[in-house]
């Protein structure tokens, strides 16, 4: 729960309204970030998303599956720790479908490119 609070606080500081699945928060029109912190819902969350960050890649974890968000046609970003999905991540980078980020500022900048509020 500490990590969730930190993430929500950071999103708020960056100007994003967020909703957490585990806290059962309402998803209103002004929510830009849905935090998928529950099991078995990623495909649904990807289907209603504009962009995705693939977790476990900013730390030495090796990352999560890139195929699910890529199958939804989402622009993707991830950190540099890609050892669990080297071939897939290489192919996505060659197709300009995956952006490697290194910190929270990079993620924020990438997400702001797809922020519908600007339109």
Do 87 and 103 lie in one domain? The reply is yes
Is the model's pLDDT at 105 over the cut of 70? yes
CB atoms within 10 A of CB 75: 18
Gyration radius of the chain over CA positions? 14
Averaged confidence pLDDT in the chain = 90
Do 63 and 28 lie in one domain? The reply is no
Do 20 and 75 lie in one domain? The reply is no
Q: Does residue 36 or residue 118 have the better pLDDT?
A: 36
Per the confidence metrics, is the pTM higher than 0.85? Answer: no
Residues 25-65 have pLDDT tens digits of 999 999 989 898 888 888 888 998 999 999 889 999 888 89
Is the model's pLDDT at 94 over the cut of 90? yes
% of the chain beyond a pLDDT of 70: 97
Residues 87-102: b if buried by 16+ CB within 10 A, e if exposed: ebbeebeeeebbbebe
The two most distant CA atoms of the chain are separated, in Å, by 38
User: Which pLDDT does position 2 carry in this prediction?
Assistant: 85
Q: What is the dihedral of CA 57, 58, 59, 62, to 10 degrees?
A: 10
Do 12 and 32 lie in one domain? The reply is yes
Domain count, the chain: 2
The residue segments making up the domain with residue 107 are 47-119
């Amino acid at each position: 729960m500490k990590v969730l609070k930190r993430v929500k606080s950071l999103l708020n500081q960056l100007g994003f309204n967020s909703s957490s699945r585990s806290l059962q928060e309402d998803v209103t029109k002004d929510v830009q970030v849905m935090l998928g912190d529950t099991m078995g819902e990623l495909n649904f969350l990807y289907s209603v998303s504009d962009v995705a960050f693939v977790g476990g890649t900013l730390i030495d974890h090796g990352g999560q599956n890139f195929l699910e968000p890529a199958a939804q046609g989402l622009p993707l970003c991830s950190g540099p720790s890609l050892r669990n999905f080297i071939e897939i991540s290489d192919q996505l980078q060659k197709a300009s479908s995956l952006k490697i980020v290194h910190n929270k500022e990079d993620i924020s900048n990438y997400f702001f490119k797809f922020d519908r509020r600007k339109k």
